[in-house]
Amino acid sequence: MNSQSEEDYLKALYHLQMESIRVNTNSIADYLKMKPSSVTDMLKKLAEKNYVNYQKYKGTSLSKKGKLVALQIIRKHRLWETFLVEKLGFGWGQVHLIAEQLEHIKSEELIEKLDAFLGNPKYDPHGDPIPNEKGRIEKMNQKLLIELKQNQKGIITGVKRGTASLLSYLDKENIKLGDGVKVLEIIEFDGTFIVEINKRKLTFSEKICQNLLLETYD
Amino acid sequence: MNSQSEEDYLKALYHLQMESIRVNTNSIADYLKMKPSSVTDMLKKLAEKNYVNYQKYKGTSLSKKGKLVALQIIRKHRLWETFLVEKLGFGWGQVHLIAEQLEHIKSEELIEKLDAFLGNPKYDPHGDPIPNEKGRIEKMNQKLLIELKQNQKGIITGVKRGTASLLSYLDKENIKLGDGVKVLEIIEFDGTFIVEINKRKLTFSEKICQNLLLETYD
DNA sequence: CAGGAAATTTAGTTTAGTCTAAAAGTTTCA
DNA sequence: TGAAACTTTTAGACTAAACTAAATTTCCTG
């Protein structure tokens, strides 16, 4: 069993590895708001447990085993965020800190039951994909509404970062994650989209379309 | 903000205080599976923070402030247990260990939203009452056994007028006033109650249930 | 390519929460 | 009432995970 702290490091490593294969000690320290010397200590410990490939002064990368653990934490984080938004009605900005705590709860069974309860979602409310139990992330087929053409369809999976007000607008319009969208018409003049959602015809400004994330089928 | 460990001690104190006002160091150690010396250390710390009234060699009691914290943790524990059983479909035997972790998640708002999501339940799946945000447990009142539902609990306070023979039956069965009763099962067909009293499983006819008075929590 | 700047590691310290062993206080009962 | 038994506290040590300060390595630039 891994400590909360170990889990935080593995998750940080995973996120930072998106940027570059080998991750600097200092960037981990920045990310986790810790001192580089503390990071060095923990990296040695994680290397000991074969979670990372650590080489003095040369940076660190996740091992296969470490990556799996990281993905399982990310899975938990995203499932909990989905729960908080979809079931408890939290708004966006609020969920991260809470999910950061919930992701460390230890119980395989809990997370599988939660997943089922949420209807096995593929994306969290930020539109980030939710890894499966084996740590696999389904290839994303994610697009912005503005990228769609007339008659194309998609399922709302989220909104781009920093657009909390769009979320509350959608909420007010009674539009939820998972709702289907079909592009009926695109007004060339101002980029407005006429779409159908839940059998209702709606008009979305260009700005909305630039921030609304969909999963598409093509 | 209190540590997980501090919260565990306060909760233990609360439960042990049901038995006797001043709680022994050793009984806390037993309850938490720690050594008495560790308990002494923590009690001093909690006394420093005014959560407990600790007197060397004389036992410990919760202060008003400590009791409130304990009740808020118990509230969280019981709400999460309710969630696990009602929403995720766990059996009640399985939920305790998970709720023990979830009860330490820090977020007022989370717990209020969870409470609302569950429909503001008054009892958890074990029939234990859920304290409100202010730590109040609703005042107990009297009911007939027949008014109870499965898993609810009560304390025997008497029998209805004119049923002396019921009293002597109880006496013969070695059941006394003040004994706790828990409804295990209600047989729909004939209204028979299967109950647990003093760790014994007993069957009560509908007529007995119509005449046995209990003190309950709601 | 030398030397300073930046990054990283090492060494030693701190804190919270636990432990063991021993000392001190309390209770019990012959 | 006093000695044994039990309870509790004290003293000192350990571990995980952080820190600071100093030493070391690597990088970059003139």
Task: Indicate the residue among A28, A45, A62 that finishes a domain.
Answer: A62
pLDDT tens digits, residue range B109-145?
A: 999 999 999 999 887 776 578 999 999 887 667 788 9
Q: What is the ipTM of this complex?
A: 0.78
DSSP string, A129-141: B---TTSPPPPP-
pLDDT tens digits, residue range A10-32?
A: 999 999 998 778 999 999 999 99
Number of structural domains (chain B) is 2
* In-domain check, residue A11: yes
pLDDT of residue B79: 97
Rounded CA separation B183/B197 (Å):
9
pLDDT of residue B178: 65
Rounded CA separation A174/A9 (Å):
39
Which pLDDT band holds residue A173 (cuts at 50, 70, 90)?
Answer: confident
pLDDT of residue A217: 66
Mean pLDDT value across residues A176-200: 87
pLDDT at B218 over 60: no
Pick left, alpha or beta for residue A203 (phi over 0 → left; psi -120 to 50 → alpha; otherwise beta): beta
What range does the domain containing A181 cover? Answer: 142-216
* In-domain check, residue B93: no
Rounded CA separation B109/B160 (Å):
45
Taking an 8 Å cut-off on Cβ atoms, the answer to whether A97 and B107 are in contact is yes
Residue B208 sits in a domain whose CATH number is 2.30.30.90
Q: Which nucleotide is nearest to A25 (CA to C1')?
A: C8
Spatial CB neighbours of A95, under 8 Å, sequence gap ≥ 6: A80, A81, A84, A85, A125
pLDDT of residue B139: 65
pLDDT of residue B128: 76
Tokens, residue A15: 């996120």
Spatial CB neighbours of A19, under 8 Å, sequence gap ≥ 6: none
Taking an 8 Å cut-off on Cβ atoms, the answer to whether B88 and A101 are in contact is no
Q: D12 C1' – B120 CA distance, angstroms?
A: 50
* In-domain check, residue B100: no
* In-domain check, residue A109: no
Mean pLDDT value across residues A88-103: 92
DSSP string, B86-115: HTT---TTTHHHHHHHHTT---HHHHHHHH
Q: Which residues of B touch A87 (CB under 8 A)?
A: 117
Spatial CB neighbours of B174, under 8 Å, sequence gap ≥ 6: none
pLDDT at B209 over 70: yes
- Least confident stretch, A89-93, B34-38, B161-165: B161-165
Residue A12 sits in a domain whose CATH number is 1.10.10.10
* In-domain check, residue B75: no
- Top pLDDT among B57 and A158 is at B57
A104 touches strand D (CB under 7 A): no
* In-domain check, residue A126: no
Q: Which nucleotide is nearest to B37 (CA to C1')?
A: D9
Interface of A with B in 93-112 (CB under 8 A): 94, 97-98, 101-102, 105-107, 109-110
Name the percent of chain A lying above pLDDT 90: 65
By the 8 A CB rule, do A110 and A54 touch? no
Mean pLDDT value across residues B20-25: 88
CA B107 from centroid of its chain's CA atoms: 23
* In-domain check, residue B102: no
Q: D21 C1' – A51 CA distance, angstroms?
A: 30
Task: Indicate the residue among B62, B77, B108 that finishes a domain.
Answer: B62
Q: Which residues of A touch B101 (CB under 8 A)?
A: 105-107
Mean pLDDT value across residues A92-110: 94
pLDDT of residue A218: 60
* In-domain check, residue B186: yes
pLDDT of residue B129: 83
For an interface test with B, the pick among A81, A101, A114, A117 (most B C-beta atoms closer than 10 Å) comes out as A101
pLDDT of residue A23: 95
Which pLDDT band holds residue A91 (cuts at 50, 70, 90)?
Answer: confident
Query: What are the φ and ψ backbone dihedral angles of B35, each rounded to 5 degrees?
Result: -85, 145
Which pLDDT band holds residue B3 (cuts at 50, 70, 90)?
Answer: very high
Rounded CA separation B130/A131 (Å):
35
Query: What are the φ and ψ backbone dihedral angles of B76, each rounded to 5 degrees?
Result: -65, -45
